[in-house]
Structure 1
Amino acid sequence: MNPLRRIVPRGLLGRALLIILVPLVLLQVVALYIFYGSHLDVISRRLAGAVAGDVAMVVELLGRNPRQEDRGWIFREAAWRLDLSLAFEQGAVLGPAANRRASLPLLPLEEDLDAAMRERVRLPFDTDWQSDPRSVIIRVQLPDGVLHVEAARKRLFTGTLYLFVIWVVGSSALLFGVAALFMKNQVRAVRRLAEAAEAFGRGRDLGPMKPEGAAEARQAALAFNSMQSRIRRFVESRTEMLAGISHDLRTPLTRLRLGLAMLPAAAQAEAQAMTQDVEEMDRLISAYLAFARGEGTEQAAPADLAELVEEVAAKARRDGAQVDLAVPEEPVIAPVRADALRRCLGNLLDNARKHARRIAVALTRVPRPDAAGAWAMVTVDDDGPGIPEESREEAFRPFATFSAGGTGLGLAIARDIARAHGGDIVLEDSPLGGLRARVRLPV
């Protein structure tokens, strides 16, 4: 796996801001490097050279005028004209090099001052940057003692650096904030379109969405509204057509059933088999129409999946199945089409009841791998013959049957309903020795 994928944001907003932020930061870094590496370096060397030159001048004057009264005059003139505070420690000797670093480590102050002092004074010295936050103390070893020079720290660097840093950081933050606000509004339109498509795919009719954002996002919203209207009209027309087909097909079946019932008693034995065929035809028609209709007219609403699973299991017990049930005590609320989901789970339990003696149904809640919500897992286990692994996907195809007496639509309808809710159904080996149907639904 590419390591860059771990640090690159997955969302459109994060990636768009990254595209804006990376060139902006690189540009500011280049500008800061040019300023820091050329202009600031030159200015720092010049300011350090000026301070070292003043100290060298004072040292030279003291060497040429060793008298006490001359020393006092030199100290007063240095304080007035050079802004240097001087003191002399008679007979003192500098100890080991004790240069302490400046409190501004990003600036080349210490190195530039040391270089200038070595070049211009050419006497043993050390510097103290930490005793006074407003000044730097320079000690120079003279033949008869140590000269203490206190120079204002502002003489060694310029405030332009702070203005430049504030400008760099401030302009970057301002541009990033404007870009983030603008991109957030653009991404919001795309996110709402995705949410509307997800809700429509799960059977929730939220109505047409309001076009907003950039021209492309508005165009996509208008195309989605148009598609939603066409699909809704198609479902409505198909439902009306299927209702008419159901009426047209069941009318002759009803006449056949009545005709068979009115046959004489001597023909009832033969009529019984024909009546069973008519009922089988009626059941097949109901199954075919249910599959074609797809439960598309029901609206999704919050429901407790635990109660729904208990209802389906109770109905299976009434039909003669032995069902072991395990559901959590706390409610598992999810937006579902309750009738459609009952049909989905009912089909799974009916299939298990036809081929097995024991059925186990369990409802659990598991987190999603992407940490976006959770899944509700409904497992239906049985101890029947099962389905070979290579044939399990084939079992979901319409009209695919693996035993006599089935229409081949139970699993197809169940998966269609699960996927319409944003989930799915998979078939696996059951711990009971038969087949496990695992229904996954978003919570």
Structure 2
Amino acid sequence: IYRELGISLYSNEAAEEAGLRWAQHYEFLSHQMAQQLGGPTEVRVEVNKSSPVVWLKTWLSPNIWVRVPLTEIHQGDFSPLFRYTLAIMLLAIGGAWLFIRIQNRPLVDLEHAALQVGKGIIPPPLREYGASEVRSVTRAFNHMAAGVKQLADDRTLLMAGVSHDLRTPLTRIRLATEMMSEQDGYLAESINKDIEECNAIIEQFIDYLRTGQEMPMEMADLNAVLGEVIAAESGYEREIETALYPGSIEVKMHPLSIKRAVANMVVNAAR
């Protein structure tokens, strides 16, 4: 039977000459065979051009190697196994990549929404999907975004109401200037200019609340804007010395904002 199967016995020296030196030791196979035989066993596998060969040495015959050729398995038979293994590995890698991508998609949406909130844009509520932890984070973000939007709406409503209410006392002051005597004409004119400037500030503020964006800049004469501030702030027991560049200086700016900034500097300097 051994002769028909091609099984042969070799001593240690003869086994080395017969191909044992080219065989590779497999710890897993040795451990499994040792469990089956009930003692220490060493298993090596030699893959040659004809067919794989298993070398086996047991604890019962420590100086004898058993050579078992696997005639039914040829070296070319490993190619399909390799292809199947490679295909399974590629499918596993592709499936893992797709799974991670699906799991990360709500995090990407959350990142984009957070960037929008940082820019002052409140996005619509995000769809809650994915892992339970991701759904919890998305739900908390939606609550936070809704709270920020509510605060912004309340602020806009409050500021709009304050701006609207400021018009009433300004209107009363304007009516009071109409009843001033001609001797106080210069004072009435100055008060009316201040009222017009306040109304312009209120209009600008309301436009900002309405659109959520700053007013666009425009080309204006910087000397003319500074001249209006000097004319408005002079005469209150103080003289303002100027050294303006002759001629006009066209600059792209917010004229009203420049006037407010320069007027504040003049008032602070006079204190």
Contact 1:208 1:225 in 2 (8 A): yes
Paired residue total? 181
Distance 1:186 1:208, change over 3 A: same
- Which amino acid counterpart does residue 404 of structure 1 have in structure 2? V
**What displacement does 1:273 show?**
1.3
The one of 242, 252, 260 aligned to 2:169: 252
Q: 2:47 aligns with which of 29, 39, 43?
A: 43
Q: CA RMSD in A?
A: 4.1
**TM-superposed deviation, 1:213:** 0.7
1:209 aligns with 2:132: no
Structure 2 match to 1:104: none
Q: Distance in 2 between matches of 1:262 and 1:233?
A: 45
Q: Deviations over 1:203-248 (max 9, x none)?
A: 5554211111112211121111101110111011111111221122
1:121-200 → structure 2 map (5 Å cutoff): 157-200=74-117
Work out the percentage of aligned pairs sharing the same amino acid: 25
- Structure 2 equivalent of residue 226 of structure 1: 143
Aligned counterpart for 2:222 among listed residues 325, 347, 355: 355
Answering whether residue 271 of structure 2 is matched by residue 404 of structure 1, we say no
What per-residue deviation string (whole Å, max 9, x for no partner) do you get for residues 355-389 of structure 1? 389xxxxxxxxxxxxxxxxxxxxxxxxx9699xxx
Amino acid at match of 2:107: V
Residue identity matched to 2:46 = V
Contact 1:44 1:156 in 2 (8 A): no
Q: 1:47 to 1:186 in 2, by over 3 A?
A: closer
Task: String of CA shifts for 1:132-164, please: whole Å, max 9, x gaps.
Answer: xxxxxxxxxxxxxxxxxxxxxx99942332133
Residue pair 1:356, 1:384 contacting (<8 A) in 2 also:
yes
In the alignment, the residues of structure 1 paired with residue 205 and residue 89 of structure 2 have an alpha-carbon distance, to the nearest angstrom, of 64
Residue aligned with 1:42, SS: strand
1:262 to 179, 182, 185: 179
Contact 2:122 2:145 in 1 (8 A): no
C-alpha contact (below 8 Å) 1:257/1:278 kept by paired residues: yes
Query: Structure 1 pair 225/273, CA: closer, same or farther in 2 (3 Å)?
Result: same
- Structure 2 unaligned blocks of 5 or more: 1-22, 27-43, 54-70, 225-247, 252-256, 266-271
CA contact (8 A) 1:257 1:275 kept: yes
Q: 1:185 to 1:283 in 2, by over 3 A?
A: same
Q: 1:404 to 1:202 in 2, by over 3 A?
A: closer
Q: 1 or 2, which has the higher helix percentage?
A: 2
The residue that corresponds to 1:281 in the other structure is 198
Are 2:221 and 2:250, in contact at CA under 8 Å, matched by a contact in 1?
no
- State the Cα distance separating 1:202 from its structure 2 match: 4.8
1:161 and 1:224 map into 2 onto residues whose CA distance is 54
Deviations 1:148-193 (A, max 9, x none): xxxxxx9994233213312331221121122122112111111122
For 1:276 and 1:236, the matched residues in 2 are separated by 32
> What are the equivalent positions in structure 2 for 1:288-299 lying under 5 Å apart?
293=209, 295-296=211-212
CA contact (8 A) 1:47 1:157 kept: yes
Counterpart AA for 1:355: L
Q: After the TM superposition, which residues 93-104 of structure 1 pair with which residues of structure 2 at under 5 Å, given as runs?
A: none
1:272 equivalent in structure 2: 189
TM-score by length of 2: 0.53
Q: Matched residues in 2 for 1:217 and 1:190: separation?
A: 7
- Aligned residue runs from structure 1 range 417-432, under 5 A: none
Matches of 1:155 and 1:214, distance apart in 2: 50
